[in-house]
Structure 1
Amino acid sequence: MKNYLYKQFYRNKAYISALIFLVLAGIMAIYTGKKFLDRNQDIIASSEQFQKESIRKNVNYHQDDLGLILYYVKFNLINETPKLAAMNIGMRDVNPSVQGVTIRNLEEQRYNADFYNPASAAAGNFDFSFVLVFLFPLIIVAFCYNIISEEEESGRWKLLSVQSRDLGKLLDMKLLIRFLAVSAVYFLLIFIAFLWISVPLDMNFLAFIIAGWLYIVFWFVLCRWIISFRKSSAQNALILLIVWVGINFIIPMSSNILIQKFYPVQESLKAVMQQREGYHNKWDEPKQPTMEKFYKAYPQFSRFTVKEDDSFSWTWYYAMQHMGDMEASLSSRQYNEKMAKRNQAAQILGYFLPNIHTQLEGSRLAETGMDNHLNFGAGLKKFHEEKRLFFYPLIFSGQHPEALDWNRQTVKAFRENISADPAALFLPYLLMITILLILSQIKFRKLC
């Protein structure tokens, strides 16, 4: 019987065509990820060369004024992109992997990003996670929706009931054959990605693989439960497609609207406006209040005095630049807190919807999600402060540009050390799979 079921499945040209379609779609998605990584590396290489050229040109052009040189020169911080990002591009296509900042105000600079096509952003990336989350379930539904109903509609069900002692095992064997076929395609694509993209076989990649496979298991168990109600083929297909549309589109979109309502975010624009107003207003205000606030923030620079009747000094200029950032600091902090809360709300929703959980955890492991974006923002702030504190005393003391070793001002990199949390990653899958197995098993017992 087992050999017959195998032959029956693999002789079906529609099934084989569906598996080939999955393989081709997966290869195209892996190619998209590879091109993304290559383009990202080109941008990083260009940023290193651009920073060197910028420093060289500005040092040659403003030979006697260090403050003016540092007004123009941008220092680049790279958000390192792991190879696993090719499997889940996430937010990396709209958030820059390289951020250049001068030692002037930060809040205005940190929200500058490359322009992108909003239509492409809305559609998302055709990466491996897209194929896994959206296309694999459709093929699974097409394979499983009529396993019972086809037998009943063709009139073979009564014959099978007489010949087979355990119809549940027979149906499970059919499901197992389909599960093995889809799993084989999944692991084939993982192997292709491993060779083509050279993804390191570390714990994050292994966690990514297992999470994706458990998502496939979830859909097979869900199909097992739905078909156990012994509805018609059309009803089974309709129910499963409604579930697919509901958990992939309707529920996420409705939840996103609610999350945006509960955590409205206007603070990024507000921070930029506050920074600009705080900085520009200083031109018309007395210098001493600005300097007192600056000395309070950085007592080590109190020896660099500024007189009220001074026409211009770089000490006062960079002090009022930083004061603009300080006046916008509350809005900036509120923005980060609200974005973190939005992300936490999405993660909680993911505990009940495996597709969202798969996307969010995949982007976390690949360092392409909101967590990475917020952490990179914090790293950029620290990087900006390190540059300011290094150059401030040199500028304030009137150091000559030639006294600096500009070759030491190289591009820096930010890298997260993400580690997989097995409980948080796998438990939502296992709970959902277990519940559906129990529910479907209760129905399957009635088939015997």
Structure 2
Amino acid sequence: MASKQSFDENGTRIPPPSIDSAISVHSHEDDESRNLKCPSGHEAAIAEELAATERAETEDTSMTSKIFIRISLPSQLLEPVGNLEYWNFNDRPDYFACLADPDDPLERMLGVIRWWYSKDLKYVKGRLCKPYNSILGEQFYCHWDVSTPKFNVDGTIAKQTWISENKGVNEDALGKSIRVTCLNEQISHHPPVSAFFYNCEEKGVEARGIDHITVRFTGTSVKVGPGDENKGIYITLRSRDNEEYLLTHPWASVNGWLKANLYLTMSEHCVITCPKTGLKAILEYKDEKWLSKPRFVIEGKIFSYDSASDEITKLKYVPQDKLRATVDGSWRGQVKATRVDTKKECVLMDMNIIECIPKVVAPLEELGEFESRKIWYSVTSAIQAKDFSRATKAKIAIEEQQRQRSAERKAKGEEFEPVYFKVPVQEGKPELKPAGVEKVKGRAQ
């Protein structure tokens, strides 16, 4: 049963208490870019052996978090991939690259909403899994080479818009290739916090934010939401006079534990604000009925607002005379939008007919010491060989090396310093160090 939510008289949600922990979702589309195929039919032994080493990483978390980590996860939930590679909001980097293209501010907001829903494509096309917990200082870089998407009036894409380095140029990927880059780094271990930065240098589009999640237990489900450090995703359109959008996160629920058939539902809402254009969007995820089949329904409104005084977070409080467009549909199916001025409905996107675009990552021999695939290679290769005893020993060795580094820093009176991101992070909006700027632009060339 869904937990009750509290709102003040203006419709602003009062945040609920939460605790730290994690569970993730992975799309099989990433398997092609990793060239690491997850073996089918994991033996239950891996769940028992690797779960034991997970416990050592959570010694200072709350008791409830420990209980969650100590659960023997079903073998099909384990995935041989690092957390930083696992979590990614850019399932459709081509949608990201074109955010600044429209001259109409309302169309730009609709483009941001399209990209927002596309980031959940992994939930639609993939399955629930658990990655390796990131170690402090772990890094992940990737890029995508895409072309500007061409949308039909029904929301379908007129042509394929990505280029695979493994397969060469797709026969439908006509037009100029545009590079989108991704940089992630684990900047804190207690609590576990990572920073991310996406960049399309040619189009002048960037996004950044903090990954920090919390967990609530509601009887028959596990609810995952943003932690205290996570303020949302910040998108900046440099080519539009640094127009900035802030997108807040809803809550996700992992359901189906009693029947051992796990699936994901979303609840509460996402709020998107753009002070420069004076446009705001509220996207609600409708509550699912406990005993009914989930419908994954969404409803939203775009309206004009005053950034200095507006605090509306519920659709029923949106003034009718400020309404600019409405959004409806299913976050697992079609998402439609209707502009108030034209009264014409269009399909923003159809999740049924699009796929996640694979990440492109450098070969293992070219990766640095702290890059995710290099760190976890010994564990991943052992899991894929179904040598679970070796996988456990390799994972313990990685964790022991991490503890030794921590002890050495403590003995020297040194604090950990991220390589690519500045700390502390203000308002959940990470800033790149010079090394981070160089890394991102190097990938963009």
Which one has a bigger Cα radius of gyration? 1
Greater helix proportion: 1
Same fold by TM-score greater than 0.5: no
TM-score by length of 1: 0.23
TM-score by length of 2: 0.23
Greater strand proportion: 2
Using CA pairs under 8 Å that are at least 6 residues apart, name the structure with larger relative contact order, 1 or 2: 1
